[in-house]
Amino acid sequence: MDYKEYVPDQRLLAFIKAHWSLESADGEKPHSRERVFPDGCIEVLFHYGDLFTKFDSSGNRYVQPLNLIHGQITSFIELEATGKVGILSARFMPFGLRPFVNIDIDSITDKVVLLTDVWPDAQPFVDEMANCTNNTERIQKLEDFLILKLDLSRHDKAVECCVSEISASNGSCAIEKLSERLHVGKRHLERRFRASVGLSLKMYSRIVRFNNALQLIENRDFSTFTNVALDGGFYDQAHFIKDFKDLTGLNPKQYFRENLEMVKFFNL
Query: pLDDT tens across 115-154, in order?
Result: 999 999 999 999 999 999 999 999 999 999 999 999 999 9
Q: Which fold has domain 2-152?
A: Jelly Rolls (2.60.120)
Residue range 157-263, CATH number: 1.10.10.60
pLDDT in tens, 166-199: 999 999 889 999 999 999 999 999 999 999 999 9
Band (59; pLDDT cuts 50, 70, 90): confident
User: Buried (b) or exposed (e) across 146-164, using 16+ Cβ within 10 A?
Assistant: beeeeeeeebbebbbebbe
pLDDT at 128: 97
Answer whether 46's CB lies under 8 Å from 89's CB: yes
pLDDT for 97 beyond 80: yes
Our measurement of the distance from residue 61's CA atom to the centroid of its chain's CA atoms, rounded to an integer in Å, reads 20
| Per-range mean pLDDT, top range of 25-39, 82-96, 204-218 | 82-96
The CATH 2.60.120.10 domain(s) of the chain lie at 2-152
Can you tell me the mean pLDDT for 5-25?
Answer: 96
β-strand partners of 268: none
The count of C-alpha atoms lying within 13 angstroms of the C-alpha of 256, restricted to the half-sphere facing its C-beta, is 18
Band (266; pLDDT cuts 50, 70, 90): very low
β-strand partners of 92: 16, 42
Phi, psi of 93 (to 5 degrees): -60, 160
Query: Which spans in the chain are helix H?
Result: 115-118, 123-131, 135-149, 157-168, 175-182, 186-197, 201-218, 225-231, 237-248, 252-255, 260-263
pLDDT for 265 beyond 60: no
Our measurement of the distance from residue 223's CA atom to the centroid of its chain's CA atoms, rounded to an integer in Å, reads 29
